[in-house]
Amino acid sequence: MKKILAFSGSLRAESFNQKLVKIAAEGASEAGAEVTVISLADFAMPLFDEDLEAAEGKSDAAKKLKALFLAHDGLLIRHSAPLRMRIFFNYNLLMVS
């Protein structure tokens, strides 16, 4: 069974995009995937700054997100907040070390 991580770029509690992610996640689950739905609001991170990271290391939230990424086979993303998504991807995809 494939494991899918599902999220939106929105941080709002009543986000339409997060609601869409939940609907899509239900469909993926019905199709046989094991789906984990998260909210990026639960992973507070500073703006990506390599100097800060070199001095202080990755934030705990960034480490937790990276672990989630590595524990899943695929992503289901509904994104409408480009800055937040860029921060997320910088921490979790580009900086894989």
- Specify the CATH number for the domain of residue 44: 3.40.50.360
What is the predicted pLDDT for the residue at 93?
63
For residue 13, pLDDT over 90 is answered with no
C-alpha to C-alpha distance for 73 and 79, rounded to whole angstroms: 19
CA 79 → CA 6, 22, 53, distances in Å?
11, 13, 25
Nearest-angstrom CA–CA distance, 27 and 21: 10
Q: How much is the pLDDT for 6?
A: 95
- Structural domain boundaries, residue 32: 3-94
Per-residue tokens: 94: 């580009």
Find the mean pLDDT for residues 49-65: 87
Helices H / strands E in the chain, number of each: 4, 3
> What's the pLDDT band for 95 if we cut at 50, 70, 90?
low
For residue 83, pLDDT beyond 70: no
Render pLDDT for 20-36 as a digit per residue (tens, 0 to 9).
999 999 999 999 999 99
Q: Give the total number of structural domains in the chain.
A: 1
- Residue 66 near residue 94 (C-beta atoms within 8 A): no
Element housing 18 (H / E): helix 16-30
